[in-house]
Amino acid sequence: MSKEVQVKDWGLINYQTAWEQQTILFKEVIDRKVRNRKLSQEEQLKQFHYYIFCEHPHVYTLGRSGSEDNLLLDQGGLAEKEAEYIKINRGGDITYHGPGQIVGYPILDMDEFFTDIARYIRFIEEMVIRTLGEYGLEGGRIAGLSGVWLDKDTPQARKICAVGVHLSRWTTMHGFAFNINTNLDYFKYIVPCGIADQDKDVTSLQKELGREVSLTEIKGKLLKHFKDLFEAELLF
C-alpha cells in the first residue's frame, strides 16, 4: 500500500487546460492500478497519488446533475463578465471559480486509502472545517447539501466551500473550491449549486475576517489537515 501524495501547484490556469492535465494524471493512476492487478505482488508498480492546487480565471462549471437554468447569464453576459461556461463530468450543479479562490484537486487511488465515497467527501469537508477553525470560524455541514457552511443552522447560513467530485474505478478527480479572497459578485449570476433558498448565501474568508488572507498560508493548513485525515505522506 502506498499513501505517497505528490503536491502540485499549477497557479492561475485556464479551467479547460487544468481539466485536461488533471485527466492525464487521473488516467495514469487508473492505468497503474489496472496493470498491478495483472502482476504478482513482487512485480507491482508503486502507486502514486496527486493533490493539485490552482486558481482559475472567471468560469462557471456545470456538473452532470445540474441544470443550465441555474446560469443567469447569456453569451453576451458571459462575455461582458469575461467568464467562460463549461459542462464537466463531476457531480453537483453549477458553481463559480475565479481568482482568489483556492481550488483543490485530489487524485487518489482510494483502494490505497478506503473505499467509501461518503467518507471521502466528509474528509474533504473536514479538512476545510479544521482550517476555518484556525481562524476562529466554525464550519459545518447541512444535511442534504454538499460543501462547508458557516452558521449552518441559522437563517444566515452561508457557503464558503463547494465540493464536487468524480469517481471511476475508485479513483478520484475534481474536488473543492474554497472562497478566500474571492469576488463574490460573480455568484450573483448563477443559482449557486442549484440552491435557490434565499436563506442560503455565499461568503469568503476575506469577507468573514474583514481582511485579505494569504493563499499560501491557507494551502499549508489544508495540506496539514489532509495529511492527518488521510494518513498520507506528502511529497513536494
Positions annotated as catalytic residues are 193
Locate 206 and state its grid cell.
476575506
Q: What's the CA gap between 177 and 135, in Å, rounded?
A: 18
Q: Where are the alpha helices (DSSP H) in the chain?
A: 15-36, 75-80, 117-133, 205-209, 215-230
Q: Where are the alpha helices (DSSP H) in 61-116?
A: 75-80
**Residues 108, 103, 14, 214, CA torsion sign:** negative
Neighbouring CB atoms inside 10 A of 184's CB total 17
CA distances from 182 to 12, 58, 156 (A): 13, 10, 19
- DSSP one-letter code for 44: P
Q: What are phi and psi of 72, to 5 degrees?
A: -100, 10
> Which is nearest to 51 in space by CA: 114, 90, 108, 91?
108
Amino acid type, 128: V
- Location of C-alpha cell 449557486: 192
Orientation of helix 215-230 relative to helix 117-133, angle to 10° = 140
